[in-house]
Structure 1
Amino acid sequence: MIELTIDVDDRRIIQATQTGLPLTPCPYHTIAEQLGLSADEVMGRLQRMLESGIIRRIGAVPNHYALGFKMNGMTVWDVPDEQVDDLGQGVGQLDFVSHCYCRPRHLPQWPYNLFAMVHARTQSQVEEQIQQIAELLGDFNRGHRTLYSTRILKKTGLRIGK
């Protein structure tokens, strides 16, 4: 069993990176300098925390609105439960789907179990993407809806305080 503990330096690294990496040519070196550690130590500690599950990922989170992708919709699909994992894998691999996952149905009001967020510059492009998903799902598509975003919400994950 992997022990999920952090020490003072791990905590400092998490606090220094939890709102994003510095926009510098060598962000880990910048963090290391700020914390009085070596870049190798910062990268090694981050790798250990990833492997142990203390942190889930390090990745870029682009602002799709700033990139011109002003339209987005959460598509929800009613597909057979025994096929949802395989179908979700296929939908999730489409380049216009930012995230795709399975959720429980809430019958009779909510029959949908497969969710996929799509982004595009125009509503007509979103509708074309939805059609591509429908074609991929084929006869397994027993119905769907699209929930269009009406406002931007600030999204943040868990933050560790000082």
Structure 2
Amino acid sequence: MSVSTCRSREAPVRDDQGLDAHDRAIVLATQAGLPLVPDPWGEVGQRVGMSGEEVLERMRAMHERGVIRRIAAVPNHYRLGYVANGMTVWDVDDAEIDRLGREVAAIEGVSHCYRRPRHLPHWPYNLFAMLHGRSREEVERQAAVLRERLGEACRDHRILYSSRILKKTGLRLSRRAPQE
């Protein structure tokens, strides 16, 4: 285990995102993804000059502070054969949406589920749930399961199919160090 004596240990210099030099180095080392090795934290630690345990602890602390929203796998569904990716949008009774949103989020096959504001009169949908299938028919079968779960609280829905990948990246920082 290495021990750092750099100035940031005693008096951390923080940039406008609340990151000290160590946190920033970790984010820069992981922003393209974690290494696909048995000990990714140790690998990142080697890159930035600290232990894997310290990297993991700092990642947890950044998560708790809200700097990092989540650490998760971000699959490329197209490369996995899931070429029919549909964002289902639902017009759900506002009095039931919190409970039903939790239920929908727990259904296998739903990768994203969240509440969004309506934009009446043109956009009545307030619950979004992303589905992935190998065909549109498979996505439509999954949507039927969601429709059944939503029951009488659901007034309408649509499936918006993806035509391309828009974003598959996480937190990004400039490689330029912040002004001290």
Compute the TM-score of the two structures, normalised by the length of structure 1: 0.92
What is the number of equivalent residue pairs in this alignment? Answer: 159
Amino acid at match of 2:123: W
Secondary structure at the residue paired with 2:33?
coil
Identity %: 55
For residue 144 of structure 2, what is the amino acid of its counterpart? Q
Change (3 A) 1:32 1:158: closer
- Once the two structures are superposed, residues 58-98 of structure 1 have per-residue CA deviations (whole angstroms, 9 ceiling, x without a partner) of 11111111111110111111111111111111111111111
Distance (Å, rounded) in 2 between the aligned partners of 1:56 and 1:152: 21
- The corresponding residue for 1:98 is 111
Do 2:74 and 2:168's aligned partners in 1 also have CA atoms closer than 8 Å?
no
Alignment match of 1:12 (pick from 25, 30, 38): 25
**How big is the shift at 1:52?**
2.1
Higher CA-based Rg? 2
Q: Does 1:117 align with 2:130?
A: yes
Correspondences of 1:32-43 after superposition (within 5 Å): 32-43=45-56
Q: What letter matches 2:39 in structure 1?
A: C
Over 3 Å counting, the alpha-carbon distance change for 1:66 and 1:54 in structure 2 is same
Residue 155 of structure 2: SS of its match in structure 1? coil
Structure 1 SS opposite 2:95: helix
Other structure's SS at 2:112 match: strand
Give the superposition deviation at 1:134. Answer: 0.7
Residue 145 of structure 2, aligned match among 114, 123, 132:
132
Q: Structure 2: how far apart are the matches of 1:48 and 1:157?
A: 17
RMSD: 1.4
Decide which of 74, 77, 85 is 1:61's aligned counterpart. Answer: 74
- CA distance change for structure 1 residues 53 and 154 in 2, over 3 Å: closer, same or farther? closer
Q: How does 1:45-56 map to 2 (within 5 A)?
A: 45-56=58-69
TM-score of the superposed pair, with normalisation by structure 2: 0.83
Structure 1: which 5+ runs fail to align? none
Structure 1 ranges of 4+ moved more than 6 A = none
